Amino acid sequence: MTFANLPPLVTVFGGSGLVGRHVVRVLAQRGYRVRVAVRRPDLAGFVLPFGNVGQISLSQANLRYKDSVVKAIEGSSFVVNCVGILFESGRNKFDAVQDFGARTVAEATAAAGAKLVHISAIGADAKSKSVYAASKGRAEDAILKTLPDAVIVRPSIVFGPEDNFFNKFAAMARSLPFLPLIGGGKTKFQPVFVEDVAEVVSKAVDGQLKGGVYELGGPEVLSFQQCLEEMLRVVDRETPLVSISFGLASFIAGVASAIPLVTPPLTNDQLTLLKSDNVVSAAAKAEGRTLEGLGIHPRSVGAILPSYLVHFRPKGQYSRSGKAA
């Protein structure tokens, strides 16, 4: 194979994260060469076996530094930005990573003549009271101004083997006397399987999607309480669910955030997000900008959770199958 006949190169920023690693795997399976751009390549070697020898490479990049972004994109036909943070720490602020960083990727992608797929989130809105959602919204606006044909993917809560939602609460159920139902557990989510998100990204790279914003949710809309109940059923535990008001949760979050060198279990910005439902919009459904509209049958929480939460059962895989089946 000559250099001119090599498969297209795709740069995946954040390729070692929850969504990114699955995107890398799917793109490699489809024959693309993949460059995984991450802050710590020394911690991302586990993605290399996802492809054939030499098919996947690692590159050091930090979205706060334009030169590293430009270098990571050099020679690529497509760019996928999976970088995102759930809470701020040190210099990793929402504005720096999810707004400025996303703009930097978009500008470098445009300069390279490549195409961009950007992972955002349902609820992204430049006018949101949530700093997280506002930074995502500003990034989307800037990206579409720079690259009108960019594909923006907005998933609801993403679940899968390495997720920070069901795994987190399953671990809490194993060690705490109760689980908190913030705001009564009424917030609605539409959990989407990480592999379904990766499939959409691969379709975009394949050129099957028009530029625009796509909203991805699973087959079920579940309240926060229903999500925890399903998780408890799978792990075969009866940990009580205790309703906690937003006011009390805000106090707890404030105290936790004030403790240095400790990752807070909850932040006030996340509480702001919990005050709004996180589901696919009616407009996206009507216009076919959803998984179903793209011909993808989303997989449910109930079908997938047992495959990776089994070790949270009292006796692991050897627990009785009753409630967990």
Q: What is the per-residue pLDDT for 36? A: 99
Q: At what angle do helices 131-146 and 101-112 cross, to 10 degrees?
A: 10
Q: What is the per-residue pLDDT for 256? A: 78
Residue ranges per structural domain of the chain: 3-155
Q: What is the per-residue pLDDT for 2? A: 47
- 118 neighbors 19 (Cβ within 8 angstroms): no
Stronger pLDDT, 123 or 319, i.e. the higher one: 123
Position 7 pLDDT exceeds 50 = yes
3-state SS of 47-84 is HHHHCCCCCEEEEECCCCCHHHHHHHHCCCCEEEECCC
User: In the beta sheet, which residues pair with residue 89?
Assistant: 92
- Rounded to 5°, the CA angle 214-215-221 comes to 160
**Stretch 156-160: mean pLDDT:** 98
CATH of 3-155, one of 1.10.620.20, 1.10.10.10, 3.40.50.720, 3.40.50.300: 3.40.50.720
pLDDT (tens digit per residue) in 191-206: 999 999 999 999 999 9
Distance CA(52)–CA(63), nearest Å, equals 28
This prediction's pTM: 0.94
Report the candidate in 213, 199, 86, 71 with the shortest Cα–Cα distance to residue 137: 213
